[in-house]
Every structure is written in structure tokens, then in C-alpha cells.
Amino acid sequence: MSFDQPSGLSVRDGARGAAPGHFMTLTITVNGSTHSVAAEGETPLLYVLRNDLKLKGARFGCGTGLCGACMVIIDGKAVPSCDVPVSAVAGKSITTIEGLGDIGRLHPLQQAFVDEQAAQCGYCASGIIMTAKALLDANPRPTDTEVREALEHNLCRCGTHHRILRAIRRAVEGEGAK
């Protein structure tokens, strides 16, 4: 796959140490809270987030690690959660869009997306914001080229790319929190 993903995290690599077809109880940490979930080890993390933990912010798009709609941050890296077996994330720190802010206290990136009206249908937005968050955490002052490169694997079928780039620039410049 083309994502720069931590080794052993791809669903297509198989779940390390997990027997297919066998449910196991796993403890995962999402947005700072620990959860005990029963799932087959190779179940994509996305399914566990959405179906077990009812965190619907990460979206199902392609299901093959190619569109970025399901991006979450795992140990500081933006990763497509559809392509990560849940057994691979035990002990890792997972952040979803729900961990960034809420309706009364938006994260600066979320506020910037609102201010720049960067979403049309909005299906891609949470994945793009998570990719941008991982980028800004590692590189608070990225160039436009670096932003474009980071978003290379986030697709937007509505074509709002220019507004998305403006929103991220706004957050970088510190205007998103106003």
C-alpha cells in the first residue's frame, strides 16, 4: 500500500498473532479512554470504532486504504482505520475526530473548516482534518507543498480542495480559533 503506515498494521498483512474467525477480547485506548471490545482480531479498526464504540466520525469510503475517509491518528501518525486490524492497535494511542473538539469547543482545524466552508457534502472532512492534525502536530508551520503532500491520499469527490487548503492555512496562521 502507498500509505506510510506503521509496520504490521495493514489488514491485508493479516492480524499479527490473531487466529482468523476467533473472537478475542481486546483493550484499546481511544481519545484517552480505554475500552474492552470483543472482536475477531482481523476486524478493521474502523468497524470497531463505528459499530462497537459508536464513534461515527471516521467514515467508510473505499474500505481498501485508498481514500482517507476513515483516517485516525495512531501513535502520532495518520492511518486509514479501514486497513488496520484491531488486534494491531492494542496498547497504542488512537485519536479520532471526536477526540479533537466538540460543538461548543471546536479544535482550531475544525473551526477553520467551518470558517472557510471547506466541506461540501462533508464526507471526506473528518479524515482530512485528522491527516492535517497529524501533520501540524509534527510540523506546526508546513509549507503549502508539505500540506499538499500530506493530503495526497485524502480524496474529496466534491472538489473542495482549494477551500480545504485555505482552511488548513488558516489554522496554521492561528486564525482558525477566532
Q: Closest by alpha carbon to 73, among 3, 24, 11, 13? A: 3
Q: Which of 6, 106, 123, 166 binds ligand FES (CB under 6 A)?
A: 123
Nearer to ligand FES, 37 or 78 (CB): 78
Asked if residue 161 binds ligand FES (CB under 6 A), the reply is no
Q: Cell 462533508 identifies what position? A: 122
Dist. CA 155–CA 161, nearest whole Å: 9
- Please state, in angstroms and as integers, the Cα–Cα distance from residue 153 to each residue in 78, 85, 115, 138, 174, following that order: 10, 20, 24, 18, 25
Dist. CA 162–CA 101, nearest whole Å: 24
Q: Which of 1, 53, 66, 90 binds ligand FES (CB under 6 A)?
A: 66
Q: Which of 82, 84, 97, 150 binds ligand FES (CB under 6 A)?
A: 82
The cell numbers describing 58, all together, are 471516521
Distance in Å, CB of 71 to ligand FES, minimum: 7
Distance in Å, CB of 51 to ligand FES, minimum: 14
Asked if residue 85 binds ligand FES (CB under 6 A), the reply is no
- Please state, in angstroms and as integers, the Cα–Cα distance from residue 129 to each residue in 23, 35, 138, following that order: 32, 24, 14
Strand, helix or coil for residue 175: coil
Nearer to ligand FES, 19 or 114 (CB): 114
Span near ligand FES by CB under 6 A; candidates 63-71, 108-116, 142-150, 169-177 = 63-71
Dist. CA 13–CA 155, nearest whole Å: 23
Distance in Å, CB of 146 to ligand FES, minimum: 21
Contacts with ligand FES, residue ranges (CB under 6 A)? 60-63, 65-70, 80, 82, 119-124, 156-158, 160
